[in-house]
Amino acid sequence: MADTGTISFDVDGMTCASCALRIERVLGRQPGVDEAVVSFPGQEARVKATPTVDIGALEDAVARIGYTISAIGPGDERISPSARHAGEAAAQRRNLIGAAVLALPLMLLGMFGPSPMGATASMAAEGPGGAEWAQLLLTLPVVFVFGAQFHRNAWRRLRAGGAGMDTLISVGTLATFGYSLWAMFAGHHVFFETAGVIVTLILAGRFLEARAKGRASAAVTRLLELGAKQARVIRGGEAMMVDPLTLAPGDRVVVLAGEKIPVDGRIVAGTSTVDESMLTGESAPVEHQPGDTVYGATVNQEGRLEVEVTGVGPNTMLAQIVRLVEDAQATKAPIQDLADRVSGVFVPVVIAIAVVVLGGWLLWGADTADAVRNAVAVLIIACPCALGLATPTGIMVGSGRGAELGVLFKDAEVFERSRTIDTVVFDKTGTLTRGAMTLADLEVVGDQLRFLRLVGSVEAASSHPIGKAVALGAE
């Protein structure tokens, strides 16, 4: 078997877990592809493929089913997932507010306005009243402006020969709106408020979903922010401040006491203790001397260090940790495969059930309004978005939060297997104990307060752990 590599893609157009499953299946059938995993919360696809795979063919295959993917190169600038989700949440918030403002009076009119439950010749002859016209005007922007995304997505899936959760929403709201428009002139009871309230409630769910995905992906962004923002590089015999990403292997940087080390490198001059807790979880500073390796985002505790650069940006230990977290977030737990399979067949099954419900009520002799209302209820309440979203979002939150606390997960299956753990072994220092030095006691011959003031003033600017403890105790 030929060697395979992993290609990452940004994905646009997914609205539910069944979308991710459909893209996975299409990518998995392409020549040269060994495995494809698509993350709905992360809006990303990862494909294991041979080096000869045609990336353009993969993008075209996905485009034919109504989605867009674009390969992510090593040096490509891309919008962070947290920023993307923040933008999505802002857009959904605007739609929600607009729909809610109109849905409230619409609901009140539906509840307390005229309510002709049966048609008569006189009602049909008189035509719609003011309450019906008001409901129509309020419903139009809710369904076709603030809820336009559902109809666009449903049409896109239909053109590609598929269906998604938005198909259920679109068919349900359009059926309710269409029936109400007919009933308005036939003298029957209208259900405009049902269509408006349904769209508003689903928009509220989309807003909360986007915000949850943003919070989940923000953990990776916070990890990246641990790195130093500037580096003091020596060029032409002088030190100057530059962006760490502009450095190259072989450059020399100076790190003063209390500063973050901006890159991975090797100490060429100076000795110091370095706080590596963000990498190792060990709270006690580590002593370093010339020839030792140091890592970006760790903190130089004392003294001046001169470091020769060996790794910058994506080649640092911090970047490797971030990649490990992203890889874990992109994998799937076994239970998620079951949820995805259910989501994949759910939409056509629900539509079929709704048609059976409609036909059954009509054959039973029920009123058309009751039959339509029951069929629409099946379409709307059956959306299994939570089924497909709960597991991947939980994995994103868990792996990201774990990385912040120094716990790294290799893949999503670890979360599921962790239920079998019966023994946990902890490192004591810094885990079960604080690992922070404190001034416990002292014996002074003479004025103790004066002694503490003098010692505290001497150690006030110290970055050494013992000096900090003395200064804090003197306060």
pLDDT at 117 over 70: no
Strand order in the sheet with 238-242: 238-242, 231-235, 252-255, 305-311, 264-269, 293-294
Amino acid at 334: P
Confidence of residue 154 (pLDDT cuts 50, 70, 90): confident
State which CATH number among 2.70.150.10, 3.40.50.10420, 2.30.40.10, 3.30.930.10 fits the domain covering 231-316. 2.70.150.10
Instruction: Report yes or no: 331 and 225 within 8 Å, Cβ to Cβ.
Output: no
Contact 192, 175 (CB under 8 A): no
CB half-sphere exposure, 434, CA atoms < 13 A: 3
Residues 252-271 pLDDT 10s: 999 998 899 999 999 999 99
CATH number of 5-71: 3.30.70.100
Q: What percent of the chain has pLDDT over 90?
A: 23
Residue 302 has pLDDT above 70, yes or no: yes
pLDDT tens, residue by residue, 36-86: 888 877 788 889 988 888 999 999 999 988 889 998 876 555 666 667 777
**How far is residue 447 from each of residues 123, 235, 263, 444, 454, measured CA to CA in Å?**
100, 52, 47, 7, 11
Return the pLDDT at 14. 84
Nearest-angstrom CA–CA distance, 313 and 75: 10
As annotated, the residues of the chain forming the CATH 3.30.70.100 domain(s) are 5-71
Residue 427 a catalytic site member: yes
> At 120, is the pLDDT very low, low, confident or very high (cuts 50, 70, 90)?
very low
Q: Give the total residue count for the chain.
A: 475
Where are the domain boundaries for CATH 2.70.150.10 in the chain? 231-316
The DSSP string of 144-178 is: IIITHHHHHHHHHHHHTT---HHHHHHHHHHHHHH
> What kind and span of H or E run contains 278?
helix 277-280
Among candidate residues 12, 54, 60, 427, the one labeled active-site is: 427
For the entire predicted model, the pTM comes to: 0.66
- The pair phi, psi for residue 263, each rounded to 5°, is -145, 170
Q: Give the β-pairing of 238-242 and 231-235.
A: antiparallel
